[in-house]
A and B are shown apart, each in its own frame.
Chain A
Amino acid sequence: NAGVMQNPRHLVRRRGQEARLRCSPMKGHSHVYWYRQLPEEGLKFMVYLQKENIIDESGMPKERFSAEFPKEGPSILRIQQVVRGDSAAYFCASSPQRQANTEAFFGQGTRLTVV
């Protein structure tokens, strides 16, 4: 059973370009969470999605950021018109259900560098 797969592991974008980060959850998992992590800091919640639905996007910046989790395929975090401040590690986690004590599994992250 493959774990949570994120790709690419490293992504370099010039200011103004678009960044697309992909997260394939574990088999059978229909819940995905995205987080942003700056160096030496903790995980900042961005968005929580179920298949085809955004459940909670309270941590997502209002502009330039969007997320989706289609019926088929991976979850996508999209950052449009990237700026240097978007440089960070972005992690996703998946779980089979949204219950308080359900174990969530994390991917290895995508490290975005904006130059």
Chain B
Amino acid sequence: TQLLEQSPQFLSIQEGENLTVYCNSSSVFSSLQWYRQEPGEGPVLLVTVVTGGEVKKLKRLTFQFGDARKDSSLHITAAQPGDTGLYLCAGGDMRFGAGTRLTVKP
């Protein structure tokens, strides 16, 4: 099993701030997926990264896959309260990290 570590575990910021959360492993992944989960709901897929060094953008969210395909980051620009949620990364084996719980205060 390939273990994924996410950091920080908790993050609380003000609306308008930028933030970056991380997903790291000692293993090489063929792909990584990022999900967002809101309270009381199931996770929703945000993006899949496949190629080392790949950068994908989804509106104010920027996802990067490390060159060695062992880590990934998610950067949010000008965070909004609607970004509040649990951000989870998963490897191709559908195992998840513990997540980063983000709170964006208005």
Q: Which residues of A contact B (CB under 8 A)?
A: 4, 33, 35, 40-45, 48, 58, 91, 93, 99-101, 103-109
Label chain B's interface by main secondary structure. loop
Contact with A along B23-34 (1 / 0, CB 8 A): 000000111010
Instruction: Identify 6 new A-B residue pairs, CB closer than 8 A, beyond the known A42-B98, A91-B43, A107-B42.
Output: A4-B42, A43-B99, A100-B29, A101-B31, A104-B94, A108-B40
A33 lies within 8 A of B42 (CB): no
B50 lies within 8 A of A42 (CB): no
Label chain A's interface by main secondary structure. loop
Q: Give Cα distance in the complex from A108 to B40, angstroms.
A: 7
B42 lies within 8 A of A100 (CB): no
A43 lies within 8 A of B96 (CB): yes
Q: Does B61 interact with chain A (Cβ within 8 Å)?
A: no
Q: Enumerate 27 A-B pairs (CB-CB under 8 Å) in ascending A order.
A: A4-B42, A33-B94, A35-B96, A41-B99, A42-B86, A42-B99, A43-B43, A43-B88, A43-B96, A45-B94, A45-B95, A45-B96, A48-B94, A58-B1, A91-B42, A93-B94, A99-B92, A100-B29, A100-B50, A101-B30, A101-B31, A103-B33, A104-B94, A106-B43, A106-B44, A108-B41, A109-B41
Chain A residues with Cβ below 8 Å from B29 are: 100
Chain A residues with Cβ below 8 Å from B43 are: 43, 91, 93, 106
Q: Does B7 interact with chain A (Cβ within 8 Å)?
A: no
A-B interface pairs (CB < 8 A), number: 57
Which residue in B31, B42, B92 is a CB contact (below 8 Å) of A109?
B42
Which residue in B40, B41, B48, B88 is a CB contact (below 8 Å) of A101?
B48
Q: Does B45 interact with chain A (Cβ within 8 Å)?
A: yes
Chain A residues with Cβ below 8 Å from B94 are: 33, 45, 48, 93, 104
